[in-house]
């Protein structure tokens, strides 16, 4: 089931912009799909499907990036590696005296990206 509060894309990974969700039944979801050279108008059922069988233009939620690891950097330049589950605790931990958290992600397309968060 689609969570409409989160971004969506087509099943094959194309970008989607939802215009409205109150269209005519049985396809009340109206939006644009970015195809090779242009944006095309599509309609979907409320469950994100276009036809009775699985289709590449069906909607799914955009997959969230996977956290590979996080590195906490202290005021003195020392650093420690942390797991994805420990990241939330790092933001409020005063014992470690961290100045930055560097989080390394694997994006759904396979790219590796980093995010640097300044804590102080």
Mean pLDDT across 88-92: 70
Average pLDDT score, the chain: 87
Query: How many other β-carbons are positioned within 10 Å of the β-carbon of residue 31?
Result: 19
Q: Is the peptide bond before 55 cis (omega within 30 degrees of 0)?
A: no
38 with 81, same domain: the answer is no
Number of structural domains (the chain) is 2
Residue 3 lies in a domain: no
89 band by pLDDT with thresholds 50, 70 and 90: confident
Q: Would you say residue 32 lies in a domain?
A: yes
Q: Which of residues 36, 61, 86 is at a domain's end?
A: 61
Residue 74 has pLDDT above 90, yes or no: no
Q: How many CA atoms lie within 13 A of 77 on its CB side?
A: 0
DSSP category for residue 63: P
Domain of 96 in residue numbering reads as 66-118
Contact 58, 13 (CB under 8 A): no
Q: Tell me what pLDDT residue 119 has.
A: 77
The answer to whether residues 79 and 108 belong to one domain is yes
Determine contact, residues 33/19, Cβ cutoff 8 Å.
no
Mean pLDDT over 38-58 rounds to: 91
Q: Is residue 106 part of a domain?
A: yes
Residue 87 burial (CB < 10 Å; 0-12/13-18/19+)?
middle
Chain segment 6-33, per-residue pLDDT in tens: 999 999 999 999 999 999 999 999 999 9
Would you give the end-to-end CA distance of the chain in angstroms? Answer: 40
- pLDDT at residue number 95: 63
81 and 51 inside one domain: no
Is residue 54 situated within a structural domain? yes
CA distance 29 to 18: 7
Residue 13's pLDDT is what?
92
Does residue 26 lie in a domain region?
yes
Higher pLDDT, 50 or 94: 50
């Amino acid at each position: 089931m689609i969570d409409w509060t989160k971004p969506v894309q087509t099943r094959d990974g194309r970008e989607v912009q939802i215009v409205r969700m109150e269209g005519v039944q049985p396809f009340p979801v109206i939006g644009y799909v970015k195809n090779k050279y242009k944006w095309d108008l599509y309609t979907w059922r409320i469950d994100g499907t276009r036809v009775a069988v699985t289709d590449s233009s069906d909607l799914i939620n955009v997959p969230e990036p996977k956290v590979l690891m996080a590195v906490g950097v202290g005021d003195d330049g020392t650093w420690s590696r942390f797991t994805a589950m420990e990241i939330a605790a790092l933001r409020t931990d005063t014992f470690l005296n961290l100045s930055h958290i560097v989080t390394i992600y694997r994006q759904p397309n396979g790219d590796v990206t980093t995010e640097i968060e300044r804590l102080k």
